[in-house]
Structure 1
Amino acid sequence: MDVQLFTKLVKEIKVGKQLPDAVYLHKDAFSALPKTLKGFIPAVAKALNIEEDEWNLVKLFKKDFRLSLLHYPDFYQDSYPALKKSINVDLSKLSHRITEYAKSENPPILHRKETMVLTDNTYYEHFTQLTSEGENAGLYENTRLIGFKQSWLNLITRHGYELVDGRLFRSSAVMEATNENSIDRHKTAIVRHDLSAPMKTLAKSGFLEGDYSIFDYGCGRGDDLRELQAHGLDAIGWDPKFQPDNDKVTSDIVNIGFVLNVIEDQDERLEALLGAWELAEQFLIVSVMLANESYISQFTPYKDGVITSRNTFQKYYAQSEIKSYIERHLDEVVVTVAPGIFYIFKDKIAEQHYLQKRYKRHSSWKQLSSPEPTNTRVLQKDKAKLLITQNESLYNDFWQTCLALGRIPANEEFEQAEQIKSLTGAFKKTFALLAELYDTSEFEQAQNKRKEDLLAYFAMSLFEKRKPYTQQPENLKRDIKALFGEYKTALNLAKELLFAISDVELIEPQCIKAHQALPASVLNKGHSLLLHKKFLSELPLLLRIYVNAALQMYGEIDDDIDLVKIHITSGKVTLTGYDDFENKAVPFLRERIKIKMAEQDIDFFDYVNENRRPPLLNKGAYLDESFANYKKQISFDRRLAKLLGYENGNDVLLSRTEYDFKLHKENKHQSGYTLKSN
């Protein structure tokens, strides 16, 4: 083995943790190494009299004729294992250096272990979950801070988390069963992005703008409260350990976040849920930790949960399990907001406002017409029309209100109602006059959109089996009367649409229709329709309900999701998120979520290993001119498709390895929106 062959073989490695200057690989992944290198590494260890059990990882340098044999004895047992011994071998000088870390209080530690084993490794999924937790907690933003044990633990604490059996928990969710003193938390107010996940959903939905009082039931050390109070919000909390002297007070919104997980007594757990519900005046937000059976099985079972190494109890849930638990005990239909996060409304008017907003499309109407007179002689005979022409700004505002509502507004829905009435009389009369002056096709479009939004809302209420509301918001009553005549008619239409989403013979033509009408999409006939989430609101009504029915299990689509796939025949919807979709010419798949409506189940797939993420080719097929770099993307897609020999504009399935190989074969590499020679 010489330096040239060593360098060549290391460059050929497609597995392992790939760094700019080295590759890390566990022994158990050696089967994927080039044959010569596979035999060479153990031969080096044997020549140095290093026993087999004294190393289990290798670091292969890309630019130097060097390798390091590393011993992480707790690689499979510890989430972030510490380095015990390092043997650095300089193959060019035929020398080596041994560094011991066994007695070090601050040894180097490992992260992203899933990158160092193969995908068929028994622990691969578990390692992937660990990395995903760290990324979601914001711990990998500065990689210089994570390489050593103490700095890693300090970083975890500063971000408001604690390690329990190698898993990250927000400190406020950890109820310690021992008498050990707790580590003091970082005292400065945490930044906005460090709000807990349930609080982030409140912010996204507009509930943290100062209009609502908030009570945090089981607030822990008060991480969220400090941030909310710093923004001037009316937010207080109680916790049985950290803030037991605080009063439990009724509030508009009550949050019981990651509390039900840690209560081992089922009666006490239910008491906490019911206690929090009792305090909520508008709605309760419940959040819990989720985990699959393979992860839970590694712990000691206790009651309906497990015992952790710190002698604490944890009850992990599946999404459907916790949803059923809440609905059964509160006798309320819950709103699924995100995985493990749910809203339960006590104020049914507030619930209807929230759900209507969730299914309502937002449009900015452009003024396409004006009431300028074309026949002065006629208008002079009609004083009312002349008044409209003379007060153009006022009547434009009124017309825009009609477009926004999809109907004639009530008096209280237009601030300048008295002025309108003094000039041209009642709103109905005024609208009739405007209809002769304005292009009414705009209003017809607005009316149809509002009608479809309401049908989507009613269909989802039926799908979620919500009890009929005894009271409705006034604006909803007006909508129903104007657009449907009566409530029963609206419900019957919604019911028909809901039954139709299970009819494959109806779904496929709707997908074809959508593909023809949408600004951008990819249709795989007989299989699926793919589109960017931006265009979901432009789908035909039946497909909107189809997608919303799937999202009822998952929650709202967040910023991490980019594309949506509607499966035509299987009753599934797949959500996909890519790394920097907006800016990369070829983004790579980061996560995939498959929602199976027939089975009422969700499969989560994370592609944490960046070197194995499939590429999204023909990205331009999912964009229109409203996206930045649209023209560059279209041009790039055309050149790349021609170079690699696939059809431009279609859904192309290619692995990362195949993509890299094809580029390498053509002696090209990608740089931004260009293809350059190697």
Structure 2
Amino acid sequence: MDAQRYSQLVKQTKIGKQLPDAVYLHKDTIFSLPSELQSFIPAVANAVKLGPEQWNIIKLFKRDFRLSLLHYPNFYDDPYPALSQSLNVDLTRLNHKITSYSGTDNPPILHRKETMIDPNHPEFETFKMITQEGENAGLYENSRLIGFKSSWMHLIKQHGYELVDGRLFRASAVSNNIEATGIDRHRTAIVRHELSAPMKTLVKHGYLEGEHSIFDYGCGRGDDLRELEAHGLDAIGWDPNFCPDTEKLNSDIVNLGFVLNVIEDQHERLDALLGAWELSDRLLVVSVMLANESYISQFKPYKDGVITSRNTFQKYYAQSEIKSYLERSLQEGVITVAPGIFYIFKDKLAEQTYLQRKYKRSHRWEQLTNSQTLDSKDKARLVIAQKQELFNSFWNVCLELGRIPANDEFSESQQVRDLVGSHKKAFSLLKESYDISEFKKAEKSRQEDLLLYFAMELFEKRKPYTQQSEALKRDIKALFTDYKAAINLATELLFAIADTNLISNQCKKAHNSLSASLLNPGHSLILHKQFIDELPLLLRTYVGAGLQMYGELDEELDLIKIHIISGKLTLCSYDDFEKSVPFLVERIKIKMAEQDIDFFDYVDERRRPPLLNKHLYLSNDDKNKNKQENFDKRLARILEITPEKEALIQRIELETSLDKANKKIRGFTLVKK
């Protein structure tokens, strides 16, 4: 066989671990090679006097006329077998070299063994599972660190895992007598230095970006929690041995990570699953250790699991078995995220969002146009492409005004006109390249701002059209046709705030769209003053009409309450709104129908009512939202109130309840007195 033929045959080889410059395969798979290679490889081994027991892995080089015969004595027994001897044969120079690793403490090791054997081999699934565990643990992210035994073991430890019976564990038990003393599950929690595999899936899918609260059910020593908290995330955990005093609180996401494996009592196992599910408001993440029958059979059976070599109980699952168990126990659909990792959504809208994002296709478009002579419009587009910065600035002014700017409203107007002829023509061309929906939003926003302005002007002596500014005249012409039409619309808008049904519907609409608010159906909508501009136009007019009597909003004012039926507007000021529990300092009730204002001062600090459930008024991007919500839920349990509703109590009631619970408020935590 010559080099050319050898190269052709290696390229035809589809089985084995395919690397850029070589193919690795076990000699048990040699029958899958082209027939010429099947006979050639043993012939080479015989030629260099290498007995069949001295090699079991073949390395076929793709670019050189070379091959290596490698010996991994524990290939089938060791998950990451060490190389004992390597024989490299240079078939061009007809020489060979033997390298022994039997005396070294740091030999090369083998990974991804399933790629080197036939897929029908009985060990294929076990090998594949071992590789997947390493993937989930993040061990293969830097391939340069995995090739030798000591660096591989260091990497495993660095990632917070241990090898037990050839499998990667977050935890390892060392109880000496399982039958006599029971299982010391608290010995299972080892120190990790990065997020666990299920937590990494949450990172991947965007669930750890700050908007979700997290509860780690069975958190061990809290390694995940420390990592999450270091990133400013709202995360708490409970563990029967390490964190038994932590209160089990409902959270958006609950993680039940590798807990079901270590509970030997089936009833207790189910209780843990149901308990975690009850605590999850949006998503439960369940992860378990997987293994097949051939792997499990090597251990001593115990109840429905096995006793490992470390004398610890493990209930290994098959993928289909654990999924069926979860579906049967929770009566919910279960989504497989990775081997041994599952999502169960309680929030079905969130589930649909996840699935839509998961199955959304990315398109690769073909070029369907042909080159042709450019017409004048094409030439103008080319000019726009060449002067991108100029036309970006022009488009931004269009968005700011909600209309095409006049010549004196864009500083580089002359350059635009020299290039394409006029502002109108430039706008027409840009509509084809820019997002016209953004312009439509800007146009509508400007119309609403002007209608609100004209409606508020009706409270004063209205200026005639001739006394309006030139910019406002342009707005009126572009957005309303004429001044009379604008004033008629503003008048209708002002009268509409007396329609309680309309106000009620708009409050519901606002509650669904605002960054944060609290709706008391049929009574009121409460929001922080920073969200006024997000209100629908009718409610902005309602608030504006009330403020016509009061004046501008002071910096000290915090919350605004829109009364749906009574035609009132309440303004509330707190001593320090940034605190976990602010206290009311002043309440101002504006009675529009009666054209009157009532002021209520709380000078005496002992009489100041607390603002409870403050998280309802914070947007999701507020830096304190998560810890405020977590705090509010804890406090709600002590006060026996609902954390998702307005709660009106006196300061003395708050203090009495805290005393009774032997708690005091420290920042955003409740601590023992």
* TM-score for the superposition, normalised by structure 1: 0.50
Higher relative contact order by CA 8 Å / sep ≥ 6: 1 or 2? 1
Larger radius of gyration: 2
* TM-score for the superposition, normalised by structure 2: 0.50
